[in-house]
Homo-oligomer: A and B are copies of this chain.
Amino acid sequence: MANSKKKKLIPRVGILMGSDSDFSTMEEASKVLGQFDVHHEILVSSAHRSPERTRNYVNNAKKRGTRVFIAGAGGAAHLAGVIAAESTLPVIGVPITSTLQGLDSLLSTAQMPGGIPVATMAIGKAGAKNAGLLAVQILALDDAGLAKQLLKYKKDQAKEVERKSKNLKTPYGESSSS
């Protein structure tokens, strides 16, 4: 428990995004981490416009105890790859919707060469949410409290499906019709 307390004080996850316009997407990752009470940081730092700032953050964050990076970027989305090039910590990439709907962002994030993995999520908000969840799943390997919370989260999710099914606003609802 003391251990868990200490973990809370260290930002265990660092969320970076290439532009402040990415925030409306990336806050989904932050929300999930908040739900699981995982201490984290959010900042804007571009692979292209502020490369030194990005490197400095990545190197310092590790020293300060950060264990997972989440990076969101759009278009020629290099941010996650650039972080992965600088660190041996797990890096999760979120492709942000772009002029090409995020196809470019997805390919730029996922198609990494052998040797430098980036854990790529779906394009947009669903991906940002899942980035938060994957970070929790990774941290939970070493944190029984988080692992328990994850099991509950999963069950709640299944119940939520049932609840929504019952609330379908339709003459047919969940029961049979002709």
- Whether A138 and B140, one on each chain, are in contact in the complex, defined by CB atoms closer than 8 angstroms, is no
Given A20-B168, A103-B107, A110-B121, are A88 and B151 also a contact pair (CB < 8 Å)?
A: yes
Chain A 18-56 per-residue mask, 1 if CB under 8 angstroms from chain B, else 0: 111001000110100010011111111111111111000
Please give, as numbers and ranges, the residues of chain B lying within 8 Å of A88 by CB-CB distance. Answer: 137, 140, 147, 150-151, 153-154
**Which residue of B is nearest A102, CB measured?**
B99
Number of copies: 8
- Whether B44 and A161, one on each chain, are in contact in the complex, defined by CB atoms closer than 8 angstroms, is yes
Interface residues contributed by chain A, number (CB under 8 Å): 105
- Whether A107 and B117, one on each chain, are in contact in the complex, defined by CB atoms closer than 8 angstroms, is no
Min CB–CB distance A15 → chain B (angstroms): 8
With most chain B CB atoms within 10 A of its CB, the pick from A101, A125, A131 is A101
* A residues apposed to B, CB below 8 Å: 8, 11, 18-20, 23, 27-28, 30, 34, 37-53, 67, 74-78, 81-82, 84-86, 88-90, 92, 97-104, 106-126, 129-131, 133-134, 137-142, 147, 150-151, 153-154, 157-158, 160-162, 164-165, 167-170, 172-178
